[in-house]
Amino acid sequence: MDTPTSGPGSILLRERYRPTELIARGGMASVFRARDEQLDRDVAVKIFQATAPGQIEVGKQELKVLASLTHHALVPLLDAGVDHSTPDDPHIFLVMEYVQGTDLRRKLLEGPLSPRQVAYFGFDLAEGLEYIHSRDVVHRDVKPANVLLVEYSDDDVRPRAKLTDFGIAVFSGAQEAIINGRTVGTAAYLSPEQARGEPVTPASDVYSLGLVLLEALTGELAFPGQPLESVSERLARDPRIPDTLPFGWDVLLSAMTAREPADRPRVRDVIVSLRSLVVEELGKHRAANTQPMPVVVSSATQLTVPAILTTEQVSVSQFPTAEEREEARLAAVKRYGSLDGVADSTIERVAGLAARLLGTPVALVSSVERDVIRFRTNLGLDLDEVPRQPGLCSTAIERSTPLVIEDTHLDPRSRDNQLTLDSGMRFYAGAPLRTREGFALGTLCVLDATPRTFSADDIATLEDLAALVMNDLELRLDAQLAGRTG
C-alpha cells in the first residue's frame, strides 16, 4: 500500500514524520509505522485517503475526539496535520503513539486466549471505555482489530491493552451515523440498537466489548456470516455462551450482551466483575504453582454414592457426573456434621483470626447442605442459616481457589443473594473447606459492609486459615472414628 503520493519513506510529513512501513489499511485510512526524525523515535501515522466530504468529516471527528482524551488504555494523539505533498489532493493525518505488539484480531488467529489473559485486557478496555463515557464519548467500533496488545516484556504475566481508532466515535445520544447508505461500524460487533439505526449510548460499547471478550475466550465469532446475516441474527437471539467457560464469565457475558440496552450492566459494574475475575485467576495461578492437596483414592474403583457413608478412602474423582459428585459431597457433609456437638473453640478462634488479619467485621464458617447453608461460627453476624442460593458460599465450594466478590451489589453473580441482602454486606471472600478426599464441605468466608479489593497475599491468608479449619475437623473426625473402633 502506498502513501497518498508514493511508497513509504519517500515523503516527510510536516518535515518530521517519515512513513516507513504499512501496519494496517482500512476503508478510509492507512496506518503506517513512521520515524519521528526530530525526536528519533517510532510513531504511528494514520493517513486518511478519503476525499469525499462525508469521509473527510470522519478524519476531522477522530482528530476532535482524540485531542480531548488521555488515558492509559487509549492510544494517545501526539500530533496532527494535513499532507500537501500532492497540492490538489490533500490528506488529513494523525500521529499517535507506536504500540509495540499486535492487535487482538491477529492474536486470535493463533487460537483463543486464557481466561487470565482475557480478564486482564478486558479490565483495561473497560476502564478505557469508562473514561471516554465520562467525557460523553461513545466509541461505536469496539472490535479485535481496534484492540492493541502491548508488549512491555517477553512474558504475558500482565498483558495490557489499548483501544484505538476513534474515527466513528460520537457523543453519547447521537443518532447512529449512516455513510454511503450503510450503518457505520463493523457488522460482527454492532449492538442491536446500532443495527437498528437508533441513538447510541455507552451501553452499545458494553455490548460490543462483551462480544470481543467472548470471541477471545472461544476463538469464534458470536455472529459469523455476511454483514446482513450477522446483523439480522443478533436482532433475533442472544449470543451463545458455552457452559464450559469458567464460573463468572457466563453470567457477565450474558449480561453484557443482553439485547436491550437497559438490561446491560454499567461499565463500572463490568470493571468490578473483571477485577474480581483477575483476582480469581491470580488465585488459580498461585494454586497451580504450589503443591496440590493430596487426594486419597481407594483401590475399590466401583464404589457407589452410598458407600461414602461408611468408607473413608474415596475421592471425588470416582464420581463421573455432577449429580453423583453432589450426592457424595452431601454424604461427606453429613459425616462431618456428626461433629456438631463438639466444641468449636478452635474454629471460632480461626474465624476471629481471619477477621483480624483481613480487616473485616464478619467471619463465617459455613456448611453447604442440600437446601440450606448453616454457619458453624458467625462472628459479627447474628445469622445461623440462609437458604442455599447460587453465588457466594454455594459457588465457592465448586472452586479450587477462593471466590472474591469486591462489591456484591454490583457484581451480577451475587447481587440477589440473601446472605448479603439481609446483612447489608458488600464484600465477600470465601475459601472452600475441602476434605482429604477432595469434597468441599463449606467455606471459611469473610464479609465487609464496604466494597474493597483483595490482594494475592489476602487470598493466600484466607486459604491458609481455611486449611487450619479443615485440619481441626479432620483431627476430630479421626478421633471420633478411633473411639468407635477402640
Based on the domain organization, do 408 and 444 belong to the same domain? yes
- Whether residues 204 and 175 share a domain: the answer is yes
Q: Is the dihedral of CA 14, 17, 21, 24 positive or negative?
A: negative
Cell of 12: 516527510
Assess if residue 302 is contained within a domain: no
- Please identify, among 98, 124, 157, the residue that sits at the C-terminal boundary of a domain: 98
Can you give the CATH number for the domain in which 52 is found?
A: 3.30.200.20
pLDDT digits (tens, 9 = 90+) for 57-90: 666 666 777 777 888 899 888 888 887 777 777 7
DSSP 359: T
Which domain CATH number covers 437?
Answer: 3.30.450.40
- Domain total in the chain: 3
| Euclidean distance between CA atoms 193 and 480, whole angstroms | 64
Average pLDDT over residues 98-120: 93
- Between 229 and 295, the more confident residue is 229
CA proximity to 197, closest of 145, 235, 226: 235
What are the helix (H) ranges across 155-218?
192-195, 202-218
Instruction: Return the bridge partners of 151, or none.
Output: none
Examine the domain organization and report whether 252 and 130 are in the same domain.
yes
Residues forming the active site: 141
Decide: residue 450, CB within 10 A, 0-12 exposed, 13-18 middle, 19+ buried: exposed
pLDDT in the model for residue 38 = 92
Question: Is the entire prediction scored with pTM above 0.85?
Answer: no
424 vs 280, which has greater pLDDT? 424
Instruction: Mark whether 120 and 202 lie in a shared domain.
Output: yes
pLDDT of residue 248: 82
> How far apart are the C-alpha atoms of 293 and 314, rounded to whole Å?
15
- Helix ranges (DSSP H) in 373-455: 393-396, 418-423
84 and 218 belong to one structural domain: no
pLDDT band at 201 (very low <50, low <70, confident <90, very high): very high
Closest CA to 476 of 308, 312, 332, 339: 339
Cα-based distances in Å from 129 to 23, 73, 132, 409: 24, 9, 5, 21
Based on the fold, state whether residues 36 and 121 are members of the same structural domain: no
pLDDT at 290 over 90: no
In a domain? residue 244: yes
Range of the domain at 465: 339-483
Residue 447 inside a domain? The answer is: yes
Give the three-state DSSP class for 439.
coil
Residue 432 located in a structural domain: yes
CATH number at residue 232: 1.10.510.10
Q: What is the pLDDT of residue 314?
A: 46
Mean pLDDT of 7-12: 69
User: Which of 287, 305, 326 represents a domain boundary (last residue)?
Assistant: 287
CA dist 333 and 53 (Å) reads: 72
Shared domain for 472 and 404, answered yes or no, is: yes
The three cell numbers locating residue 482: 478411633
Q: What Cα–Cα distance (Å) separates residue 140 from each residue in 34, 42, 58, 253?
A: 27, 28, 13, 18
Q: Which of 56, 75, 98 is the last residue of a domain?
A: 98
Mean pLDDT of 233-253: 89
Task: Determine the Cα–Cα distance for residues 163 and 11; give it in Å rounded to an integer.
Answer: 28
Question: Are residues 428 and 420 in contact, defined by beta-carbon separation less than 8 angstroms?
Answer: yes
How large is the average pLDDT for residues 262-274?
89
CB 54 within 8 A of CB 69: no
Retrieve residue 309's grid coordinates: 457413608
